[in-house]
Amino acid sequence: MAAPLYESSLTSLNLINRGKVRDIYDIDDQHMLIVTTDRLSAFDVIMSTPIPDKGRVLTTVSNFWFDYLSDIVPNHLASRTLEDVLPDAAERASVEGQATVVRKLRPLPVEAIVRGYIIGSGWKDYQATGSICGIRLPPGLRLADKLEQAIYTPSTKADIGDHDENVDFETTVKLLGRERAEQVRDVSLKLYAKARDYAAERGIIIADTKFEFGLDDNDQLVLIDEALTPDSSRFWPAESYAPGTSPESYDKQYIRDWLEAQDWDKTPPAPTIPDEIIARTTEKYREACRKLTGQELD
């Protein structure tokens, strides 16, 4: 297990932004470097304790999916290498395995969420209204039930510390225009379907996931940020899945559940996470990586 990277400190590149998980550096007019740290956010609050290997897992899993799904939509990965943009060996080693050179694109102001099962905020919405983001669902569904068809339930993107807002499809039409909104919806559903079927063969249920997209200079839609990671998705072990209960998961739900049991109002600062919870979360991230990509981290 590598020493955790809570915050990168590259000096040869200018820092553009430090987000919840990712540090973004400027390379040139066309490229950026994304460093996926071991920070973890839950309930839109950044935890003070890093999760060892988390950044390497997210980078490995994302790069796997970018390649596997490239027949559906292009992605933001650039051809330039890490050695090219970080020639200093010591600096490069500090982010090895969790840094990616990407193209600069124009991000769309929508998070494209696809749900194949009813859980999380979708379950709360359904209990209150019988719908999720305006999509009417059959009565009598149980927690974690599989939906007859996957549904697209977008949200608007929030600043750090704010909460994303679930919206209906027509809201995205106002933001993007109808043709682009329909393209984002249709591509998201295709990406989810292909990934869901692949993961199912490896014993993992992808309950839901979030995609982000940008546009290149030719206004072509491009998949950006991350893809189908334990941070952006709910992964459940198929062998223990049982509707009616909150399933065991390979993602950060383990820490969410621990936080929910604490006397905490979900505002900073977050409680200090015990070592055993950290270690178990690392195990879950690594197991998801191994099952999905076939790769065992060093």
Q: Are residues 134 and 26 in the same domain?
A: no
Tally of domains within the chain: 2
- State the Cα–Cα distance between residues 186 and 3, nearest whole angstrom: 40
Q: Are residues 212 and 113 in the same domain?
A: yes
The predicted-structure confidence for 180-223, as pLDDT tens digits, reads as follows 999 999 999 999 999 999 999 999 999 999 999 999 999 999 99
What are φ and ψ of residue 191, in 5° steps? -60, -45
Q: Are residues 82 and 133 in the same domain?
A: no
- CATH number at 98 reads 3.30.200.20
Instruction: Give the per-residue pLDDT at 254.
Output: 84
Q: Are residues 129 and 156 in the same domain?
A: yes
Instruction: Give the per-residue pLDDT at 1.
Output: 60
Residue 275 lies in a domain: no
Residue 267 lies in a domain: no
- State the Cα–Cα distance between residues 100 and 159, nearest whole angstrom: 23
Q: Are residues 35 and 119 in the same domain?
A: no
Last residue of a domain, one of 69, 103, 137: 103
Q: Are residues 204 and 134 in the same domain?
A: yes
In a 3-state reduction of DSSP, which class is residue 30? coil
Residue 265 lies in a domain: no
144-to-122, 236, 273 alpha-carbon distances in Å: 10, 10, 27
Q: Are residues 208 and 127 in the same domain?
A: yes
Q: Are residues 211 and 137 in the same domain?
A: yes
Q: Are residues 118 and 173 in the same domain?
A: yes
Q: Are residues 81 and 193 in the same domain?
A: no
Q: Are residues 55 and 178 in the same domain?
A: no
Q: Are residues 151 and 71 in the same domain?
A: no
The secondary structure element, H or E, covering residue 181 is helix 178-200
Instruction: Give the per-residue pLDDT at 163.
Output: 60
Residue 270 lies in a domain: no
Residues of the chain with pLDDT under 50: 161
- Whether the CB-CB separation of 253 and 233 falls below 8 Å is answered with no
Last residue of a domain, one of 103, 118, 147: 103
Residue 295 lies in a domain: no
- CATH number at 150 reads 3.30.470.20
Residue 206 lies in a domain: yes
Structural tokens at position 176: 């993007």
The total number of residues written for the chain in this structure: 298
Buried b (16+ CB within 10 A) or exposed e, 231-241: bbbbbbbeeeb
Residue 261 lies in a domain: no
Residue 27 lies in a domain: yes
Enclosing domain of residue 155: 106-251
